[in-house]
Structure 1
Amino acid sequence: MVAYGTAALCYTLICFCLISGTECYGSGADNTLSVQPGGSVTIPCYYDSKYTQQRKYWFSDADKIKIFTNFTNETVSVIDHPAQSLFTVTMRNLTHGGSYFCVVENESLFETYINVQPAPPDVSVVSSNVSGDEGGNISVKCLYSSAYKNKHKQWCRYKDKRCYTSQNSSVEISDDERASFTVLMSGLMLEDSGWYFCSVDHLQAPVYLTVTAVASVTIHSNTETTNDEKMSLWLPVSAGLLMVIILVGVCTWKWRKRSAEDKKQIKYNAPDTATVPPEEPVIYSAINDENPNDISLLESKANTIYSTIEDLPGCEASEEPFSTRTFGEQKSV
């Protein structure tokens, strides 16, 4: 990533490929980077992937100091990124310039010249760190001074030295021919991430592009949305089914209770045959009234069995029982 102080900067890059391995940019041309006092800059140093295990360092031609990768202090950081086949050098609070070198030990190097000057930068960028989503677009605005309005403008990638000078299917460059040109990249892919630079004549301004994958996020979002929609539909349906079940249960309980009460009432109203007393046996007696003076009748008096005949409900009882009347007649003899 690139960071600047109060102003953007112009860049000088002189690349010497002493031994094959480090990718060269500019082919030895005089490229200058200008930084305002107190400013900061990050420089990408690419190398061939076969040198991933080699030691790398940042070398100052002025004080002959080597700063190896994965070192950081208040003024400089040198960090290796083997997955990207590069290491980056970030210099902060710059007060003086000079020649610096990206070095792969015993293999290759290239030189960078940094000029610290108070003059306004001839080439700079509005933002030196941009990002976009996969499949989306990004826009980079490159600024230049009036002295360079008629100079050749390009948008280049450090890693493969590919430069765009006019619009195509993925990159569009539009120059207002006064103070800026704009780079529009569309249909971004993950492999588009990396270091680029705005180029005006021999001047360069570095830009780091980050492309973020969004496919997994979109799928997750769609899944959550689908789940939310299913839940919003299922809740009222579940509530409705629960109400139906409750109503059916209540109706069934009431029906069973009513049936039990009806059966109980019918049983209560029906006559209980087991409690009706049996009819008492009726004993009949033979009464002979043809001859009241018959001695045999008198002799059988002791053996005569009397019975009481009760009137049944609804029958008249005005006359004396027949057996009682007969007995009186017999008594008078």
Structure 2
Amino acid sequence: MHFYSLRSSLILFVLLLCISDSESLKTLKNLAVKRGGSLSIPCFYDEKYKSNRKYWCKGYYWSTCTIVASTNTSGRTSVTDHPTQNMFTVELNSLQDSDSGYYWCAVEIGGLGTPDDKDYMYLTVSAGPAVSVINSRVSGQEGGSVSVQCLYSAEYQNKQKQWCRFKDWSCYTVGRTNTSQNSAVLVIDYGNGSFSVEMRGLQKSDAGWYWFSAGDVGVTVYLTLTRQPSDSTTVSGNTETELNGNTMVIWILLAVGLGLLLILATIITCMLRKKCNGNQIETRKRTLTTESPVTYSAVISKNKKASSVLDHENDVIYSSVTTTTKKKTVSVKYSHHHRQQLSQAVGDDAVIYSSVVSEYKV
């Protein structure tokens, strides 16, 4: 009786080790990668495992697998936990043929008789993998579109091709499919080893992990989305442009204003100089008038005969007198001799004084 009880316990233990709870932890079952390349493998877990340690284990049997890397370790193989997304990723770098084999995504549970949760997958590393992608990480913009180019080998030409999303494990086959997020997925198989996927009208919810598969072999792709520029950013850009334009106009107006002020100052300066010169000329005229109101002229009489009284006809003696200054020549048209009698003439060349009124010509 004791033997049968022990045998039943052993069988139950083996079953617990071999059974994978696909609802609590799951990943892809068959992946391929090119020799020397890199690969990212997502492992999704239940909400209850957020705080548990995650690790990556290699081996055909779970009971004998070897832990290659665990959470927060670095090296050629690393494990990174993303609690907000209920997943952890395994990064494999510089892969070689010897890296091919069975692996396990695992979550440490702890406690006696409580095995860790896990899910297995098989990895193939070769020079010419069955499936591959041009870029394993692509990016797009919300509302825009993104294209993914996939390749497959000739032996998989007649196999079913699919583009699948990890978030809800939904898959799209050849043709056009409108998703619930209003984005459209267009899948085209060119039949010559080339396969393309185009996603249009991208929404925020479209970001995340995808995989392309031909038959039962797949390869992972990660899609990153960026937000469209907001209206505030556009308005800010327009405002900045407008401010720059206004600044330029202000500088132009200032330059024109300064030019006009300079011209005005020049005109005023010239006018002041002319006025000053005019005042100097007027001052000189006044000086001449004041200093030389009377010019005396000597008139020589040609009448050699002495006479006590001048004849009435000779009351006025005309003479021409020219007064020369440094800058002016004063011409006198005539002189006037007042009627008077002279008692005596001096010699033959009598001198008669007269009052001369000057008329200036500048």
- TM normalised by structure 2 equals 0.59
Q: Distance in 2 between matches of 1:183 and 1:40?
A: 22
AA of the residue aligned to 2:80: I
Say whether the 8 Å CA contact 1:46–1:159 is kept in structure 2.
Answer: no
Corresponding position of 2:99: 96
Partner secondary structure for residue 66 of structure 2 = coil
Say whether the 8 Å CA contact 1:196–1:209 is kept in structure 2.
Answer: yes
Asked if 1:70 corresponds to 2:72, the answer is: yes
Cα-to-partner distance string for 1:264-320 (whole Å, 9 max, x where unaligned): 54455446999999xxxxxxxxxxxxxxxxxxxxxxxxxxxxxxxxxxx84356424
Say whether the 8 Å CA contact 1:144–1:180 is kept in structure 2.
Answer: yes
Distance apart, 1:201 and its partner CA:
2.9
Corresponding position of 2:139: 131
Counterpart selection for 2:264 from 248, 254, 266: 248
Q: Distance in 2 between matches of 1:262 and 1:54?
A: 106
Q: Distance in 2 between matches of 1:276 and 1:49?
A: 124
Corresponding position of 2:159: 151
Moved more, 128-137 or 216-225: 216-225
Say whether the 8 Å CA contact 1:25–1:161 is kept in structure 2.
Answer: no
Query: Judging changes above 3 Å, is the alpha-carbon distance between structure 1 residues 19 and 198 closer, same or farther for their aligned structure 2 residues?
Result: closer
Q: How does 1:244-323 map to 2 (within 5 A)?
A: 244-263=260-279, 265-270=281-286, 314-315=337-338, 318-320=341-343
Higher strand share: 2
Aligned residues: 265
| Runs of 5+ unmatched residues, structure 2 | 1-18, 110-115, 294-335, 345-362
Distance apart, 1:197 and its partner CA:
1.0
Query: Judging changes above 3 Å, is the alpha-carbon distance between structure 1 residues 160 and 241 closer, same or farther for their aligned structure 2 residues?
Result: farther
AA of the residue aligned to 1:71: T
Q: Distance in 2 between matches of 1:76 and 1:197?
A: 20
Q: Distance in 1 between matches of 2:169 and 2:213?
A: 12
Distance apart, 1:223 and its partner CA:
5.7
The alignment-based identity, stated in percent, is 36
Cα-to-partner distance string for 1:22-58 (whole Å, 9 max, x where unaligned): 4x456xxxx3223444443221223456644332222
Query: Judging changes above 3 Å, is the alpha-carbon distance between structure 1 residues 84 and 269 closer, same or farther for their aligned structure 2 residues?
Result: farther
- TM normalised by structure 1 equals 0.64
Q: Distance in 1 between matches of 2:272 and 2:83?
A: 81
Cα-to-partner distance string for 1:106-153 (whole Å, 9 max, x where unaligned): 2743322213355x3222212222223343322111222233333332
Say whether the 8 Å CA contact 1:138–1:184 is kept in structure 2.
Answer: yes
Partner secondary structure for residue 65 of structure 1 = strand
Q: Distance in 2 between matches of 1:238 and 1:192?
A: 55
Structural RMSD (CA) = 3.8
Q: Kindly indicate whether structure 1 or structure 2 has the higher relative contact order, using CA contacts under 8 Å at least 6 residues apart.
A: 1
Distance apart, 1:182 and its partner CA:
0.8
| Runs of 5+ unmatched residues, structure 1 | 1-14, 278-312, 322-333
Say whether the 8 Å CA contact 1:80–1:88 is kept in structure 2.
Answer: yes
Say whether the 8 Å CA contact 1:33–1:114 is kept in structure 2.
Answer: yes
Corresponding position of 1:7: none
Partner secondary structure for residue 17 of structure 1 = coil
Q: Distance in 2 between matches of 1:18 and 1:170?
A: 29
Distance apart, 1:193 and its partner CA:
2.9
Say whether the 8 Å CA contact 1:19–1:108 is kept in structure 2.
Answer: no
Corresponding position of 1:54: 52
Distance apart, 1:172 and its partner CA:
1.0
Partner secondary structure for residue 205 of structure 1 = strand
Q: Distance in 1 between matches of 2:20 and 2:274?
A: 104
